[in-house]
């Protein structure tokens, strides 16, 4: 798994490439939390467009960041076009509380407006 972190205004953009599973989530969680807290961000956009696989630990990672953002008055958005990843997100129920976007631009614009 490759993790790329970037920021735009009060948004932390988290891009995953490859597989997000129990082997990689702990390191990703630590890096995301450090960036989010140290940079004083409010919102997180998860870019999952280049994610090939995600298991329940990936869902747990996203849910944990959702709770953290909510406590700080922010929100989490997800960008994905992969039918496999979207299916996993739907089955988990996470899309009932987190918005799914088809482009990073739409997710960023929505976060900046909210």
Number of domains in the chain: 1
Is residue 31 over pLDDT 80? yes
pLDDT of residue 87: 95
User: Is the full-model pTM beyond 0.85?
Assistant: yes
Q: Report the CATH number that the domain containing residue 94 is assigned in CATH.
A: 3.30.750.24
With a cut of 70, say whether residue 44 has pLDDT above it. yes
Predicted local distance difference test score (pLDDT) of residue 6 = 97
Q: DSSP letters of the chain?
A: -EEEEEEETTEEEEEEEEEESTTTHHHHHHHHHHHHHHTT--EEEEEEEEEEEE-HHHHHHHHHHHHHHHHTT--EEEE---HHHHHHHHHHTGGGTSEEESSHHHHHHHHHH-
pLDDT tens digits, 47-59 = 999 999 999 999 9
Domain that holds residue 41: 2-113
Across the range 101-109, mean pLDDT stands at 96
Position with higher pLDDT, 112 vs 30: 30
């Amino acid at each position: 798994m490759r993790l790329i972190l970037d920021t735009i205004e009060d948004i932390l953009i988290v891009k995953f490439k490859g597989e997000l599973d129990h082997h990689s989530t702990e390191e990703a969680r630590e890096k995301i939390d450090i960036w989010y807290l140290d940079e004083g961000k409010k919102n997180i956009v998860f870019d999952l467009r280049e994610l090939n696989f995600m298991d329940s630990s990936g869902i747990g990672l996203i849910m944990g960041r959702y709770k953290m953002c909510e406590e700080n008055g922010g929100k989490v958005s997800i960008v994905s076009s992969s039918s496999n990843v979207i299916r996993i997100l739907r089955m988990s129920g996470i899309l009932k509380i987190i918005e799914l976007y088809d482009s990073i631009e739409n997710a960023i614009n929505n976060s900046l407006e909210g």
